[in-house]
Structure 1
Amino acid sequence: MKKFVLLSSLLVASILSPAFSQVRFEQQIQVPTIEVAGFAEMEIVPDEIYFNISLREYFEDEKNQKDKVIISTLEKQLIKAIADAGLPKESLSVSGVGGYQNYTDKKKKPATFLESKQYELKVSSAEKLDGILSKVESRGIQYANVSRVDHSKREELKKQVKIDALKAAKEKATYLVASLDEKLGKVLEIKELDENLQFPQPVFAKNVRAFAQAESADMAADSDVQYQKIKISYRMQAAFEIK
């Protein structure tokens, strides 16, 4: 008899269980909700500028291939200039080593092989580069250009933009629900829709004297730099209950 009652109970439970599950599912579906997206954007001036600098050996007497200025001499000038500018030695790192053949006559073999060395220099502003490169022999500078820009607090700023985007989503949901004489309930879901980080290169209005080999010192001091800002933007999606 007990076995019969037990089997009957299990049978009834198995029949009612799907029904109860369906009721709970329908109750969840029937909860009024609102889903919105919020957007936030921030523009910041980069405080980390990375320059590629290439130094190369050369002859003081190019015609006669005499009095070679070696790469170590140029490197010492660059390191001293960086120290004089108040930058830590870690600001400069070697990114490559190479060389080139110096031809005195196109019909003859190259007279010598001259070494070159590439560096990456990190500065807080492009204006510092003028003073640094002006202390290095200009004939020994093959090129200097911006490789990238960044901001020292980029990750912190990204977090703030995400928070602002989420707040914007909540604000939007609040006034939309209020327009229907309802109130916003608890948050049900949060999604990060997209991330957009733009790191444009600074636009130089005038060349730096050291590698442009300007004719006067006045031109060196008059380096005019126009920055494009780093742009960080996020779009966040959130779903809320409607009370």
Structure 2
Amino acid sequence: MKKFFLLGALLTSSLITPAFSQVKSELQYQVPNIEVAGFAEMEVVPDEIYFNISLREYYQDEKNQKDKVNITTLEKQLIKAVADAGLPKEALSISGVGGYQNYVDKKKKPATFLEAKQYELKVSSAEKLDGIMSKVESRGVQYANVARVDHSKREEFKKQVKIDALKAAKVKAEYLLAALDQKLGKVLEIKELDENLYFPQPVFAKANVRAFAAESADAVQDSDVQYQKIKISYRMQAAFEIK
């Protein structure tokens, strides 16, 4: 008796649930409506380029380990070069400090510790880096490479892309209803479905960033650099009343 009652309750529940879900969906807006998704994308050229630069001490006479050029001298050269390029002090910051053991002849001379420092430099274009690095002793530059790129108006662009995606959703709803001789009413709901931000690394067409070149600043030519664009895309969903 109890078994039959339980089975009957389960069957009744399975029949009611789909119907209840349908009623809930219809009552959500209380009016005939249409839901659509709109997509928009924007591509922008980066105007913020972040370089990683590493300086390290060295000996002018490597064989005899004499006349060491210390990290303080190299750092002063870099700071002055940044200032001469018209960049603010905040454009250059220390990102790391370290060093390495320099071995020449273990039997005759002990190993010496040479200090190294890493920096992050923010510039608006790679051409700036050419002039800056040409004023630093090339033997003291361990490397200089791109860390990341960004855009100063990224948040403004994100807002605009969202707006464009929402407008695209409205246009889609309008032409779909027009095909059925219906008109679009007021908006009932707006949802942000997904966000996609793509920040590529620059692609260098020609390697003119002279981190290791012993050239004067006047001799440095402009870098031939092609950048992949930053891509910002959004998908927005909107529900509208059908008049």
TM-score (norm 2): 0.84
Tell me which residue corresponds to 2:82. 82
Q: 1:170, CA displacement in angstroms?
A: 0.3
The number of residue pairs the alignment matches comes to: 221
Tell me which residue corresponds to 1:202. 202
Q: Specify the code of the residue in structure 1 equivalent to 2:73.
A: T
Counterpart CA distance in 2 for 1:197 and 1:131 is 32
Whether contact under 8 Å (1:48, 1:124) holds in the other structure is: yes
Q: 1:179, CA displacement in angstroms?
A: 1.4
Larger gyration radius, structure 1 or structure 2:
1
Residues 215-226 of structure 1: pairs in structure 2 closer than 5 A: 220-226=220-226
Whether contact under 8 Å (1:141, 1:210) holds in the other structure is: no
Segments of 4+ in structure 1 off by > 2 A? 23-31, 105-111, 205-220
Q: 1:205, CA displacement in angstroms?
A: 2.2
Q: Specify the code of the residue in structure 1 equivalent to 2:64.
A: N
Q: 1:104, CA displacement in angstroms?
A: 0.5
Paired residue secondary structure (2:211): helix
Tell me which residue corresponds to 1:71. 71
Tell me which residue corresponds to 2:49. 49
Counterpart CA distance in 2 for 1:209 and 1:197 is 28
Q: 1:224, CA displacement in angstroms?
A: 1.4
| CA-to-aligned-CA distance 1:130-170 (integer Å, 9 cap, x gap) | 00000000000001111111111111110000000000000
Task: Mark the CA change 1:158 to 1:25 in structure 2 (over 3 Å): closer, same or farther.
Answer: closer
Q: 1:219, CA displacement in angstroms?
A: 8.3
Whether contact under 8 Å (1:101, 1:110) holds in the other structure is: no
Tell me which residue corresponds to 1:137. 137
Instruction: Give the stretch that moved more between structures: 211-220 or 44-53.
Output: 211-220
Tell me which residue corresponds to 2:5. none
Q: Specify the code of the residue in structure 2 equivalent to 1:114.
A: L
Residues 122-201 of structure 1: pairs in structure 2 closer than 5 A: 122-201=122-201
Tell me which residue corresponds to 1:5. none
C-alpha root-mean-square deviation of aligned residues, in Å? Answer: 2.4
Tell me which residue corresponds to 2:32. 32
Tell me which residue corresponds to 1:91. 91
Residues 2-21 of structure 1: pairs in structure 2 closer than 5 A: none
1:237 and 2:233 correspond: no
Whether contact under 8 Å (2:141, 2:212) holds in the other structure is: no
Whether contact under 8 Å (1:214, 1:220) holds in the other structure is: no
Task: Mark the CA change 1:100 to 1:33 in structure 2 (over 3 Å): closer, same or farther.
Answer: same
Counterpart CA distance in 2 for 1:133 and 1:233 is 36
Q: 1:175, CA displacement in angstroms?
A: 1.1
| CA-to-aligned-CA distance 1:160-198 (integer Å, 9 cap, x gap) | 000000000001101111111111011111111100000
Whether contact under 8 Å (1:209, 1:219) holds in the other structure is: no
Paired residue secondary structure (1:79): helix
Counterpart CA distance in 2 for 1:63 and 1:195 is 57
Percent sequence identity over aligned pairs = 84
Q: 1:204, CA displacement in angstroms?
A: 1.4
Whether contact under 8 Å (2:196, 2:233) holds in the other structure is: yes
Q: Specify the code of the residue in structure 2 equivalent to 1:149.
A: V
Counterpart CA distance in 1 for 2:71 and 2:25 is 76
| CA-to-aligned-CA distance 1:58-114 (integer Å, 9 cap, x gap) | 011111111100001000000000011000011000001000111113677753100
Q: Specify the code of the residue in structure 1 equivalent to 2:195.
A: E
| CA-to-aligned-CA distance 1:200-227 (integer Å, 9 cap, x gap) | 0011123345324378989841521110
Paired residue secondary structure (1:221): coil
Task: Mark the CA change 1:80 to 1:41 in structure 2 (over 3 Å): closer, same or farther.
Answer: same
TM-score (norm 1): 0.84
Task: Mark the CA change 1:73 to 1:215 in structure 2 (over 3 Å): closer, same or farther.
Answer: closer
